[in-house]
Amino acid sequence: MQGIYIVIEGIVGSGKSTQGKLLEQYLTHRFPNREVVRTFEPGGSEIANAIRKLVQGTEFNEEMSPWCDAYLYASSRAQTLNTIVKPNLEKGNIVISDRNFISSLTIQGYAQELGPEIVTEVNKPLFKIAFPDVVIQLDISPEVGLSRIYDIDGDKFEKKAVDFYQKVSSAYEEVKKYEIFRDKWITVDVNNKTPEQVHQEIKEKLSPFLQQIKPISHPSKQTTLKKPDLEINKL
């Protein structure tokens, strides 16, 4: 029995990790006979985490090009999809992912101006491994999102200025119109809302997608994969 693949997207500071945790707890309670697995991109497995450190948390004398970014993120993604997402979906589990190739579209494709067509072609072979059943976009003002960042040395993209994330935010508005996301995309405005209010809205908008989930016979579990420490001085 096939599971369901839920992706949470949004710019930095939008609350993806917080909402992922709340959603994991809610789905575990609602579907006690399903295993709920929460993962993230880039990372999630040993190899994917190593690529994450390389692409996001390693300082180089030269600047990494958007082409290099795109292929490294796709490599990490391929590993995560093959070792975590696909096996769990085949078991009928519920998979919640913090980010997916949509982030590559918005960041490398649009904000870094590599081109969404190129990023799509790089990632298209991975669509056959696993493709999101539903995308939850947490929409937040770039100014507010950047003000919520605590570990600014841990991710090279968290050092970007507000104008960069204005481009990323605008890109989400373009990507949500893609035909491949027809009837799969949920947008939740998180500005001036508490985490609990956002969670409640997610539950309401997600409800129609959950109708496809039917009971299975194994006990419920929560499996959360911890993000690696990306502090540069610890690499």
Question: Helices (DSSP H) in the chain: which residue ranges?
Answer: 16-30, 46-56, 66-80, 86-90, 101-104, 116-123, 142-147, 162-175, 195-210
For the chain, which domains are there?
A: 4-227 (3.40.50.300)
Residue 15's nearest CA partner among 150, 113, 174 is 150
Query: Looking at residue 221, what is its pLDDT?
Result: 57
Query: Looking at residue 152, what is its pLDDT?
Result: 46
Query: Looking at residue 83, what is its pLDDT?
Result: 98
The pTM assigned to this predicted structure is: 0.89
Per-residue pLDDT 10s for the chain (235 aa) are: 689 999 999 999 999 999 999 999 999 999 998 999 999 999 999 999 999 999 988 989 999 999 999 999 999 999 999 999 999 999 999 999 999 999 999 999 999 999 999 999 999 999 999 999 999 999 999 999 988 876 544 577 877 889 999 999 999 999 999 999 999 999 999 999 999 999 999 999 999 999 877 765 555 556 666 665 544 333 3
Query: Both tokens of residue 15?
Result: 């609350």
